Structure 1
Amino acid sequence: MKVQFSFYTLISLLLLSSCKTLTTSAPPVVDDGKITVTFVQINDVYEIAPLQGGKVGGVARVATLKKQELAKNPNTFLVMAGDFLSPSVYNSLKYEGKSIRGKQMVESLNSAGLDWAVFGNHEFDIKESELQDRMNESTFKWIASNTFHKTKSGVAPFEKVTSSGKESIPETYIMNVQDEDGTQAKIGFMGLTLPFNKTDYVAYTDELNAAEKLYSELKESCDAVVAITHLAVEQDSILARRVPGLALIMGGHEHDMQFKKIGKIYITKAHANAKSAYVNHLTIDVKNKTTSVIPELRMIDTAIPEDPATALVVKKWMDIGEQNYEALGFNAKRIIRDRGEPLDGREEMIRSGKTNLTRIAVSAMEKAVPTADVVLLNSGSIRVDDILQMPITEYDIIRTLPYGGSILEVDMRGSLLIKVLEAGRNNVGSGGFLQYSADVNYDTTRKTWTLKERSIDPAKSYHVALADFLMTGGEANMAFLNKDNPDIIKIYPTITAVSDPRSDSRLAIIKYMAELGK
């Protein structure tokens, strides 16, 4: 009986277990009316490789971050909020006989899985044909709401040429998304750019007026409208007030991280050069017609591994760069300073005053030409538009002054020197704003220029060391500064020997910083 009881008991338990398995199937998926979309946002990226000795940044790490977020949410997209084709040290280099001009950025970002980009002001630093090539090479989408292509035949949207033909860069873009429970939503995008770089082939419309107009059109068919911008944060704030229905503003331009909330709208800007990314989680409640955003600042550092495929693309371009640098006498990886305060090369600072970086550059030129009475450097030669963090390598100096150029020695009359200094002072806010020796000052009361506390004598000859570009007459409001000016007394031979720091201002700065000690 005991054995028989155990046998029947076992059969009963198996039957119960079978019934239980059949009755505990997963409940059906129900559309909850809510959907979350994740945007990995970067902006102002000029470097494809990690910086600070490999500790921060790197497009290959951005690629990994996108993949990590995709694993959590299939509706994840990588966004570039402008400024990535220029400025870059690569823009002064050539590959296969052509100027690189941002080609390394497009190839790296293609590999990283960039989905959308808007124009930054620096996209228009390069030639029209070069920008066209970069757009054609890109596998991501562009949005241009207030920037248009100006040609001889008129103003029209920019175009991208693909294997299937030409496609216009749209003013807006509408994306359909769906999640695993079936919730569907439409998200509208606009891309706004500040009218900072007024080059011949670009036409701008007012960014705020464009935003108001396009939002009124998008809101009729979209569940949420997002602005991707390259504006000053003050303009982003005005945008948020004038278009309060926006779900999110993802911006660029400042280079340092920005985070604001105007009403219900978050404004997010990551650190330049992919030192961080904003991961913005946008949730759309389709039924109640509301949106909410959870912004998350993610630092891009050694905690994020490099995506192998993108890392190979980056290595290809780094090798191309190093080959070019070596031919010019540089050792790109050598550390020349490993401690001290960061060096400020931001355009808004160096084009309106002096910074620790510009003081070093001028001091280096003085050291290279100890006989100079005055040193002159146009701020536009400094193209890094960033704050250089320690450690500083030779590569950092190369990317700071990507075009290099020799230090030219000239004897000129004081009358011409005064005219040059005055033009530089009037060029505030542009690349023609001059950096000069600490001994030179402008007396605002007497409205006179002084050298070592003595007025510059218009009739006297002064030995001036200056960036060679200045003597071409090509700088803003300085067409008069050229070899034919009668107040030029003597132009000394250009130094070309790599062993002499006068041959390249970058070599002079590197030598000066290295001699100061680490």
Structure 2
Amino acid sequence: CSSTRKVPSTEGKVAFNFIQINDVYEIAPLEGGKTGGMARVAYISKKLKSENPNSFLVMAGDFLSPSVYNSLKVEGQRVRGKQMVEAMNAAGTDIAIFGNHEFDIAENELQQRINEASFTWVSSNAFHKKGNSQQAFAKTDRPVSEPLPPYFFRDIKSVDGMQVRVGFFGIVLPFNKANYVIYTDPLETAERLYNTIKDSCDLVVAITHQSMEDDIRLAERLPNLALIMGGHEHDMRKQLVGNVWILKAHANARTVFITNVVYDRGSKKIEVMPKLLEVSEKIPSDSLTQVVVDKWNRISSENFASIGFDASAIVLEKGEPLDGRESEVRSRSTNLTRLVVKAMEWAAPEADLAIVNSGSIRVDDILTAPVTQYDFLRTLPFGGGLVEVEMKGALLRRILTSGEENRGIGGFLQYSEKISGNRDKGWDINGLPIQDSVSYRVVLTDFLLTGGEANLNYLTETNPLIT
């Protein structure tokens, strides 16, 4: 899994670049074309590669799901991230790892995406479960199956013959318990692989998809890592832990991190210089990638039309912007989350209240008028349904408290405005305390009732407090 390219050096130093994106669910620009877009990312990457061929476009997980495209069918098959792989191939992506949402899709669908990718996958702690066996995920569309490596090397050679070998590994948080995936402990795996490869290369780079807290622990455990390129948070993160930079760009390619790394062959010192670049409408689009984006925009419009939606139809002609930014909806109520909750209440008029996990709201955008049907489709791309249940007040209070404790992640709960309070003062409904022994009728997403949300594993149909 190694390759060699020649790049400039200066007085015994070899320089190379990473163009890093993570958590990208939209191939087209957002906010009416003002921000993001894979064609713009491709332009940035290809321009940098023309200046220094030793530049690598890296995707740090979460790109196959969730997306409004995943509800579409092409030639009888669900899209399931195909549009992202095509865009990433056109953009010249070099390296990608799994995020937890890659395992949202079915086993055969993930296999198709792995086979279609022209980039290098690296998977250090997520493995393919086949019966009672555990094996590496693999590219299977070739005469001999090609396992995805747990680590790999890239050899970078300067014009004067000096060479630097960079080792990579990639880890993902073991959150998505799909029945075809087996995980090993991320931190233990990272430490083991680092010790395996560190003497075979000049520097080691970790590509991760896990919480910032886990990335900090990784940097503390492995203080000689050159760099951690991460994903999962959706907000930009940039933190120096000891000598290790931890970098995460904004979701949906609103920004990219361009990180210049300089390795001094003489002193063996590593200089890491990260720069955050806004992906705005000032940046041109790569023509090859734009062809892919236009193709999928056309496919989506045709598909939505076939099931009764007009993607371009205006739903709200005017009004204040609707705030669906994940940094906001995962920490507080916004006008968009209140609109979602009110829609649930309208659909279930007999319910006392509605609850939805903020992770269901994936638009990560400010929707400005005019707001279209497509905007609402991409706001709630997972699909699924609503369920109504009767639950005791004791369970309802516990759920509301768990939601508060999930602030900052997808398990933060949005609920009816008739609910007030907090875990310290207690919870009220319509101004009256929620009573432990009283039954309340609650409408919620069917996903929440699976126990699959963070810190809400007790919320299932078998809970004795659900009647």
Distance verdict in 2 for CA 1:280–1:403, change over 3 Å:
closer
Distance verdict in 2 for CA 1:422–1:201, change over 3 Å:
farther
Provide the residue aligned with 1:502 in structure 2. none
Q: 2:461 aligns with which of 468, 479, 487?
A: 479
Q: CA deviation at 1:180?
A: 2.1
Q: CA deviation at 1:379?
A: 2.1
Distance verdict in 2 for CA 1:380–1:254, change over 3 Å:
closer
Provide the residue aligned with 1:400 in structure 2. 379
For the 8 Å contact 2:394–2:436, the answer to whether it is kept is no
- Deviations for 1:5-55, whole angstroms, at most 9, x for unmatched residues? xxxxxxxxxxxxxxxxxxxxxxxx998422111111110000000111111
Distance verdict in 2 for CA 1:30–1:444, change over 3 Å:
closer
Q: Are 2:235 and 1:256 equivalent residues in the alignment?
A: yes
Q: Are 2:276 and 1:284 equivalent residues in the alignment?
A: no
Provide the residue aligned with 1:13 in structure 2. none
Provide the residue aligned with 1:168 in structure 2. 147
Report the secondary structure of 1:165's partner residue: coil
Provide the residue aligned with 1:270 in structure 2. 249
For the 8 Å contact 2:329–2:358, the answer to whether it is kept is no
Instruction: Output aligned runs, 1:172-211, within 5 Å.
Output: 172-211=151-190
Q: 1:149 aligns with which of 97, 104, 128?
A: 128
Provide the residue aligned with 1:360 in structure 2. 339
Unaligned stretches of 5+ residues in structure 1: 1-28, 488-518
Q: CA deviation at 1:156?
A: 1.7
Q: CA deviation at 1:306?
A: 0.9
Provide the residue aligned with 1:231 in structure 2. 210
Distance verdict in 2 for CA 1:155–1:470, change over 3 Å:
closer
Structure-2 separation of matches of 1:198 and 1:275: 29
Q: 1:118 aligns with which of 84, 93, 97?
A: 97
Structure-2 separation of matches of 1:217 and 1:282: 23
Name the amino acid aligned to 1:479.
Answer: E
Distance verdict in 2 for CA 1:186–1:341, change over 3 Å:
same
Provide the residue aligned with 2:311 in structure 1. 332
Provide the residue aligned with 2:280 in structure 1. 301
Q: CA deviation at 1:340?
A: 3.9
Q: 1:214 aligns with which of 174, 190, 193?
A: 193
Distance verdict in 2 for CA 1:295–1:436, change over 3 Å:
closer
Q: CA deviation at 1:345?
A: 4.3
Provide the residue aligned with 1:93 in structure 2. 72
Could you state the TM-score of these two structures normalised by the residue count of structure 2?
0.84
- Deviations for 1:76-113, whole angstroms, at most 9, x for unmatched residues? 11100111011111111211111111111111101111
Name the amino acid aligned to 1:343.
Answer: G
Provide the residue aligned with 2:352 in structure 1. 374
Name the amino acid aligned to 1:262.
Answer: V
Structure-1 separation of matches of 2:363 and 2:188: 28
Q: CA deviation at 1:238?
A: 1.7
CA RMSD of aligned residues (A): 3.5
Report the secondary structure of 1:133's partner residue: helix
For the 8 Å contact 1:345–1:355, the answer to whether it is kept is no
Moved more, 375-384 or 217-226: 375-384
Q: Are 2:219 and 1:240 equivalent residues in the alignment?
A: yes
Name the amino acid aligned to 1:386.
Answer: D
- Deviations for 1:111-150, whole angstroms, at most 9, x for unmatched residues? 1111100111111111111111111111111111121122
Structure-2 separation of matches of 1:390 and 1:212: 46
Q: CA deviation at 1:287?
A: 2.4
Provide the residue aligned with 2:84 in structure 1. 105
Structure-1 separation of matches of 2:136 and 2:23: 23
Provide the residue aligned with 1:509 in structure 2. none
Task: State percent identity of aligned pairs.
Answer: 43
Equivalenced residue count is 447
Could you state the TM-score of these two structures normalised by the residue count of structure 1?
0.76
Larger radius of gyration: 1
Structure-2 separation of matches of 1:338 and 1:182: 62
Provide the residue aligned with 2:61 in structure 1. 82
Distance verdict in 2 for CA 1:294–1:118, change over 3 Å:
same
Distance verdict in 2 for CA 1:289–1:457, change over 3 Å:
closer
- Deviations for 1:232-273, whole angstroms, at most 9, x for unmatched residues? 112212211211111111111111111111222211111110
For the 8 Å contact 1:418–1:449, the answer to whether it is kept is no
Q: CA deviation at 1:282?
A: 0.9
For the 8 Å contact 1:87–1:122, the answer to whether it is kept is yes
Q: Are 2:323 and 1:342 equivalent residues in the alignment?
A: yes
Provide the residue aligned with 2:4 in structure 1. none
Name the amino acid aligned to 1:363.
Answer: K
For the 8 Å contact 1:85–1:101, the answer to whether it is kept is yes
Q: Are 2:32 and 1:53 equivalent residues in the alignment?
A: yes
- Deviations for 1:304-339, whole angstroms, at most 9, x for unmatched residues? 111111111111111111122233443434473674
Provide the residue aligned with 1:158 in structure 2. 137
Q: CA deviation at 1:377?
A: 4.0
- Deviations for 1:212-242, whole angstroms, at most 9, x for unmatched residues? 2211222211111111111211221221121
Q: 1:384 aligns with which of 362, 367, 384?
A: 362
Structure-1 separation of matches of 2:451 and 2:221: 41
